[in-house]
Amino acid sequence: MSFLCFSFHADSLQLVTYKKVKTMSNPASSFNNARLLSYTSEHPHNKIAQQNVVGIQKDNDTDHFYNMFYRLFDVVHTDTPELKEQSHRLRYQVFCCEKEGYENPDDHPDGMETDRYDERADSVLLVYKPQNISIGTLRVIKPDPDDPYNSFPIQSLCDIADLENKQRIMSSCEFSRFCISKELRLFIWEDVQRNKDSLFTEKEDILSPEQKDKVLKQALSSASIGLVRGGMEIMNKNNTSNNYCLMEEHKAANLIKQGVAFKPIGSEIEHHGKRIPLYSNIIETCEMIMQNTAIWNIMTDKGRIYRDALNTDNSTSDIGAVPLNCYEEACM
């Protein structure tokens, strides 16, 4: 199986340096994550679980959303050399060309962005099905049994109490290189506008033009949850329940609104721009979206991922955990 992956080039890029910043050593220390915490209060059975975060309420709307999402997108695991190459080329496009200063393209003359963590990582691709184009990718880095305290990039950037415990590390992973190409988002939007009538079945002709536009907009804006689904499938395959990542605040807020149970675990750090260290647990994420059938069906593959997670849960959530209310107090 192969998919077309576009390649773009930038004339010049600048490298951004970063420094190691201590986090979680003092949960009551000040930081600026109040906006993120407003989404995650009362977690895991929080307000997000009691509302439809993408505005879908009726069963018919949920079915239309689910059908349209998988009419537009597919989640593909990079289990062949050809698919792995697609992921690396897409990462080059995003991190060397679209995100100026993130990675130096001269360090990747073959047009594939790679680093040492790829040896212990699995990836997924998000494919735009109408044109068979890979538009996004996510890497899930596994723990290193031979050197657990240097398993993940986040360990070299932040001091995280949880990741000082070997048992915790071995039940964890890091989401990394989480991206959807901006250039290809624009391409997809234009392609959908040109061909949107052909994206609906005869049974869906009962929908008004406004309703069709709403379904398309909701499916397109939820593209990233397809990558989350793929990441959680990898977590289950590797028997890991805990996920850590560094992410820009606006991206984290968007995923939290979609239902991902991210908790900020420290202050912003400088790493190719401002990034926030985050933690999530696969079971908590699934339970948080149970009331939102539309997102649940896509993110958990109609409950399959949640059942698999329950069968493999080794989260050891009591080890090194810092109560969320400590962070809430810090932001008051």
Residue 314 buriedness (CB in 10 A; 0-12 / 13-18 / 19+):
middle
| Terminal-to-terminal C-alpha distance of the chain | 52
Q: Name the residue among 34, 39, 102 with its Cα closest to residue 259.
A: 39
φ, ψ for residue 281 (rounded to 5)? -120, 135
Predicted confidence at residue 217, as pLDDT, reads 93
Query: 75-109: b or e for each residue (b if 16 or more CB lie within 10 Å)?
Result: bbebeeeebbbbbbbbbbbbbbbbbeebbebeebe
Predicted confidence at residue 314, as pLDDT, reads 59
Q: Which portions of the chain are predicted below pLDDT 70?
A: 1-60, 101, 313-332
Predicted confidence at residue 315, as pLDDT, reads 52
Cβ neighbours, 10 Å, residue 128: 24
* β-bridge mates for residue 264, sequence order: 278
Could you read off the pLDDT of 82-115 as tens digits, one per residue? 999 999 999 999 999 998 768 888 899 999 999 9
Cis peptide before 209 (omega within 30 of 0): no
Q: Which domains does the chain have, with CATH numbers?
A: 29-330 (3.40.630.30)
Could you read off the pLDDT of 295-326 as tens digits, one per residue? 999 999 999 999 999 988 655 444 333 333 33
Could you read off the pLDDT of 173-189 as tens digits, one per residue? 999 999 999 999 999 99
Predicted confidence at residue 60, as pLDDT, reads 63
Token pair belonging to 250: 């606006």
Predicted confidence at residue 59, as pLDDT, reads 57
Q: Which amino acid is at 262?
A: F
